[in-house]
Structures are given as C-alpha cells and as structure tokens.
C-alpha cells in the first residue's frame, strides 16, 4: 500500500486533515497531547471520539487497543482482548509502573512536509473495570485455545 499526503478526514469546523503531524502533534482541535515519543509515534493524544477503521492508498486507520508502558512507550494491538492479557501479565511482573489499557486507533500516513511516514496514536476510553478486564482476558484465552 502506498501512503501519500491526501486528506485523512475532517476536523471539527470542516477543515481537512492532510498530515498526521499537523493534525495531531500541535493540538489544533483541543485534543490533549500526551506525548510525542520519537520512537514510534508523532503524537499520542486523548481523542474520545475515535475514527472508524479506514484503509486507502493515502491513509491507514486501525482500530484496536493501546497499552501504556513505562517511559512514554506504547504498544498497539488490533483488539482489546490480547491487549488486556498483555496488560494483566505486566501487572503481575516485576515492572514498577502499572500498564494502562485504552481503546485506541492508530493513524498512519505519509507527510509530504517531512518526507516520511508518520503515525499518531489516538486514545479513547480507558479500560479499568476489573470485571471487563477479566472478561477480555478470558476471551483472549479462549481464542488462543481455539487457534491451537
């Protein structure tokens, strides 16, 4: 798939998003910018209304889940269940920081201005209800057992 600089979507007020860095890294719409770690994402922002999944020649938007790791690092999963299992396993490890779980979307596109691919991680609802986490981990275990 080729990613070029084409509109990513519509901003509140009608403006078109034409690059990940311009849409998310500089907080043009009042989204809360959490971090911009150079390793994987141009921006990580709180974005309660997550965009729908989309795949075109110009942009890729994947829906799934994100886990917050220590030192402003993030892992993106294509589904909540494996992310919940990862976060729960991390909580039982020797990691000092808790691993927070969020519904999320990952937006990837080519930035013509910077001549590179860029990605933003959009964080929706934080999943912290114990019963919901338990159900997600059970679902992941069941899916894993079926695949074996």
What does residue 46 show for φ and ψ, rounded to 5 degrees? -75, 125
Average pLDDT (89-111) is: 82
Q: What predicted TM-score, i.e. pTM, was given to this entire model? A: 0.76
pLDDT range class, residue 13, cuts 50, 70, 90: very low
Q: Which of 136, 73, 65, 72 is closest to 101 using CA atoms?
A: 65
Q: How many CB atoms lie within 10 A of CB 81?
A: 20
Q: Do 11 and 4 touch, CB atoms closer than 8 A?
A: no
pLDDT range class, residue 99, cuts 50, 70, 90: confident
């Amino acid at each position: 798939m080729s990613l070029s600089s084409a509109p990513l979507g519509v901003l509140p007020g009608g403006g078109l998003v034409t690059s990940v860095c311009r849409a998310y890294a500089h907080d043009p719409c009042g989204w809360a910018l959490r971090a911009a770690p150079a390793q994987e994402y141009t921006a990580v922002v709180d974005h309660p209304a997550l965009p729908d999944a989309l795949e075109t020649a110009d942009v890729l938007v994947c829906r799934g889940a994100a886990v917050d790791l220590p030192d402003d690092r993030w892992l993106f999963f294509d589904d909540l269940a494996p992310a919940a299992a990862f976060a729960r396993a991390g909580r039982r490890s020797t990691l000092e920081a808790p691993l927070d779980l969020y519904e999320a979307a990952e937006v990837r596109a080519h930035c013509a201005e910077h001549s590179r691919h860029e990605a933003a991680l959009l964080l929706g609802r934080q999943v912290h209800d114990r019963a919901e986490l338990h159900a997600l981990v059970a679902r992941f275990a069941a899916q894993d057992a079926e695949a074996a």
